[in-house]
DNA sequence: TAAAAAAGTTAGCCATGACTAACAAATCAA
DNA sequence: TTGATTTGTTAGTCATGGCTAACTTTTTTA
């Protein structure tokens, strides 16, 4: 038994910090995550993160040495995964049942993920018949907290001639998601890399009889499975 | 135009105070509502309410003179009605779609009512096909903020021989709601008042071939329409 | 290897929204 | 009508979670 109390008394802020740390550590497969990096990710000052990390260490959700890198305990990780489960289930609900577009769901899910009720989220899951992926193609952790972390391959990591399938996209930017839809890309689209331009890393891609040039920043937020 | 900014920037606390004030002023048809009464209702100290009322006055949601009684402005009232709409729509969703019982919905709805998104609540309303009442029989304000405040008649206000129909119940107490279900009462039940006992105001009632004695406190939380 | 830059920490401040204790005003009751 | 009780207000404290400015440690780079 790792959990002492399991009474789920975390504040919204504490939850947000744990989720952010998980996303930096695990989702973005960063080798090490530091205080300032977390601050930048959360758009708060380094002093604020330093403060909160201290608190999360006394609660045994985070481990780190002074001036050292940050790590999550099993319990910290479990909380983060629960948040991600809630976030993605709500996004799926908004998208599939309430006529939200995929660029509208994230902001509301950021609020909904902090609602505290086990029954609520498990019933929502059942109501939707246990969806596997959210509207952006991301896997939804199950009610036992099981979550396969699949290393993500970005479109920007491919080379000329490669062919890939769009698996998921970063859901944090409304403008980015709108642009993805606008040019006609969608989940499962097959994309061929026509050219990678050296001077600015922009990429010329072909999909569904369309040819587009996208920036490196764009391609960093598109996750694919390499086919050829 | 009453609204200056309409930017919906209220904190959870501000919203809770406005809703509580509305419920005391309008729902409980109190003639006057004072600071301490509000404090007791919200289970905070009179100093806290005094403080918050001050703030809500500068924001033009509340009007009162020093040492005087509290009133809501049109804008304050509109915010409260929006919260009640959200609360009751969420309760209805939990009850009708997520297998919550009527004693489980209130606490979760208390959290959900603070989620900020017009689209969310209007789509939820549409998804459920614009329900008129929540699981406790309370009317749900519509998306224009229209809300008929129907003066409530409590079971305790009736006399021996009266016959009434159960219209709605106070949803704030889990134990109370469980007890209502346990004895076999439900919305629309027809109730006959057999006897009102003078010494403790307890009431003997008959409904669905059942006879029960209920306390005054119980009867204060049951709202009815008088038939005979 | 020694500056310079970056990363991390600390101290001290602010806003919010609780609290208690002390006090003032209004209302009630004898 | 006056004293007691209730109601309302104020002052001062605390916890949370932000912030800036100044400082220290670590890492980078010349
Ligand atoms: Mn999201
Ligand atoms: Mn998503
Ligand atoms: Mn309720
Ligand atoms: Mn209700």
Instruction: Check whether residue B153 has its CB closer than 7 Å to nucleic acid strand C.
Output: no
Q: What percent of chain A has pLDDT over 90?
A: 89
Domain positions in chain A are 1-149, 153-226
Q: Tell me the whole-structure pTM to 2 decimals.
A: 0.93
Instruction: Check whether residue B194 has its CB closer than 7 Å to nucleic acid strand C.
Output: no
Task: Give the pair of three-digit tokens for residue B64.
Answer: 């009162």
pLDDT in tens, B113-158: 999 999 999 999 999 999 999 999 999 999 999 998 888 999 999 9
Q: What is the CA A30 to C1' D23 distance in angstroms?
A: 29
In 3D space, the residue among A154, A135, A155 whose CA is nearest the CA of residue A203 turns out to be A155
Instruction: Using an 8 Å CB-CB cutoff, list chain B residues near A120.
Output: 94, 98, 108
CA distance A223 to A221: 6
Looking at residue A4, what is its pLDDT? 40
Comparing CB atoms, the residue among A111, A115, A120 nearest residue B98 is: A120
Q: How confident is the model at residue B7 (pLDDT cuts 50, 70, 90)?
A: low
3-state DSSP assignment of residue B71: strand
| Residue A11 sits at the chain B interface (C-beta within 8 Å) | no
The label of the residue with tokens 């606390």 reads B13
Are B78 and B6 in contact by the 8 Å Cβ rule? The answer is no
Residues 108-127 of A with CB under 8 A from B: 108, 111-112, 115-117, 119-120, 123-124, 127
Average pLDDT along chain A:
94
Q: Using the predicted structure, report yes or no on whether residue B16 has a pLDDT greater than 70.
A: yes
Q: What percent of chain B has pLDDT over 90?
A: 89
Task: Give the pair of three-digit tokens for residue B188.
Answer: 């629309």
Q: Using the predicted structure, report yes or no on whether residue A2 has a pLDDT greater than 70.
A: no
Instruction: Quickly count: other Cβ atoms within 10 Å of residue B26's Cβ.
Output: 18
Spacing, Cα B140 to ligand 3 middle (Å): 11
3-state secondary structure B26-63: HHCCCCCCCHHHHHHHHCCCHHHHHHHHHHHHHCCCEE
Q: What architecture (CATH level 2) is domain B153-226?
A: Roll (2.30)
Nucleotide nearest to B47 (CA to C1'): D9
Are A148 and A173 in contact by the 8 Å Cβ rule? The answer is no
Q: How confident is the model at residue B44 (pLDDT cuts 50, 70, 90)?
A: very high
H or E segment at A146?
A: none
Mean pLDDT for A83-91 is 98
Are A41 and A24 in contact by the 8 Å Cβ rule? The answer is yes
Q: What are the two backbone dihedrals, phi and then psi, of residue B215, each rounded to the nearest 5 degrees?
A: -80, 165
Q: How confident is the model at residue A149 (pLDDT cuts 50, 70, 90)?
A: confident
Spacing, Cα B196 to ligand 4 middle (Å): 28
Average pLDDT along chain B:
94
Instruction: Using an 8 Å CB-CB cutoff, list chain A residues near B124.
Output: 98
Q: Residue at minimal CA–C1' distance from C11?
A: A47
Are A221 and A214 in contact by the 8 Å Cβ rule? The answer is no
The label of the residue with tokens 């990780």 reads A77
Q: What are the two backbone dihedrals, phi and then psi, of residue B131, each rounded to the nearest 5 degrees?
A: -60, 150
CB contact under 8 A, A124 and B98: yes
Instruction: Check whether residue B12 has its CB closer than 7 Å to nucleic acid strand D.
Output: no
CATH code that applies to domain A1-149: 1.10.10.10
pLDDT in tens, A33-48: 999 999 999 999 999 9
Nucleotide nearest to B46 (CA to C1'): D8
Looking at residue B170, what is its pLDDT? 95
Looking at residue A61, what is its pLDDT? 98
Chain B: residue whose CA lies nearest to A127: B98
Chain B: residue whose CA lies nearest to A126: B98
Strands A62-63 and A190-196: unpaired
Looking at residue A1, what is its pLDDT? 38
Looking at residue B172, what is its pLDDT? 92
Looking at residue B217, what is its pLDDT? 93
Residues in chain B: 228
Q: Using the predicted structure, report yes or no on whether residue B223 has a pLDDT greater than 70.
A: yes
């Amino acid at each position: 038994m790792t959990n002492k109390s399991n009474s789920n008394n975390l504040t919204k802020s504490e939850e947000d910090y744990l989720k952010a740390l998980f996303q930096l550590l695990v989702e973005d497969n960063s080798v090490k995550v530091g205080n300032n990096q977390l601050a930048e990710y959360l758009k708060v000052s380094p002093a604020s993160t330093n403060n909160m990390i201290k608190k999360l260490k006394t609660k045994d959700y985070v481990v780190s040495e002074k001036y050292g890198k940050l790590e999550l305990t099993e319990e910290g990780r479990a909380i983060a995964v629960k948040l991600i489960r809630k976030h993605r289930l709500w996004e799926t609900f908004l998208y599939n049942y309430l006529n939200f577009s995929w660029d509208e769901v994230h902001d509301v899910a950021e609020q909904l993920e902090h609602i505290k009720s086990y029954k609520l989220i498990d019933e929502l899951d059942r109501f939707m018949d246990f969806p596997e992926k959210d509207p952006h193609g991301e896997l939804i952790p199950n009610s036992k907290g099981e979550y396969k972390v699949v290393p993500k391959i970005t479109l920007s990591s491919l080379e000329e001639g490669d062919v890939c399938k769009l698996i998921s996209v970063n859901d944090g930017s409304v403008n980015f998601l709108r642009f993805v839809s606008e040019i006609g890309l969608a989940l499962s689209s097959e994309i061929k890399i026509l050219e990678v331009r050296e001077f600015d890393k922009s990429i010329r891609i072909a999909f569904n009889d369309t040819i587009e040039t996208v920036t490196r920043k764009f391609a960093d937020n598109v996750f694919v499975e390499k086919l050829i």
